[in-house]
Homo-oligomer: A and B are copies of this chain.
Amino acid sequence: MTDVKTGPNPLFLREEDLRQGIELLFYAYRDFTAEPDAMLGKIGLGRAHHRVIYFVGRYPGATVTELLAILRITKQSLSRVLGELMEQGYVEQRPGTKDRRQRLLTLTDKGQELERQLSDAQRARIARAYRAAGAEAVEGFRTVMLGIMDEIDRAKFPTPRGPGGKR
């Protein structure tokens, strides 16, 4: 108890600090997803559809296998969601040219429009938080979030270059 030893490195981790980290993730994620979820509900879609639309928009021409690796869900789960999105004209697929077994996925115009609307709410939230926090805090955020995620996906986030400015 009274674990208050002041070292030269201010980073000693109390129970309290770690608990706070857990809760920050819970609350931030809860609120981060609330707006898109509400929009999706109105058109009869769910969060799973948002994720697929988001990542197909992010990686146009992605294959089903690539999507599965990102989402970490089963083929059967993805299949239903993807099927609904294609049936409703948000996503299209075409056979791969190099490998004709593959289905390369892209967003239709309708899909891009929905993607934009959904992610705009999230982008605005991130932008607001980033602006209020400042560039240095954003770098810290980035570093910690990368440390929280599994190592395997960190390569998706290349080291940022400042805007030619200081440093």
Contacts and interface: CB of A to CB of B under 8 A. Distances in A.
Nearest to A71: B30
A44 interface: no
Contacts of A149: 24, 27-28, 30-32
Give the interface SS of chain A, mostly helix, strand, loop or mixed: helix
Contacts of A1: none
Contacts of A137: 139-141, 143-144
A100 interface: no
A18 B5 CA distance: 38
Interface residues of A, number: 68
A66 to B, nearest CB: 14
Contact of A148 (B9, B32, B134, B153): B32
A26 B11 contact: no
B126 A10 contact: no
Question: Which residue, of A130, A147, A164, has the highest number of chain B Cβ atoms within 10 A?
Answer: A147
A142 interface: yes
A23 B27 CA distance: 17
A133 B147 contact: yes
Contacts of A43: none
Interface stretch (A75-83, A90-98, A117-125): A117-125
A129 B162 CA distance: 23
Contact of A11 (B30, B54, B134, B148): B134
Contacts of A7: 163
Contacts of A130: 11, 13, 17-18, 21, 144, 147
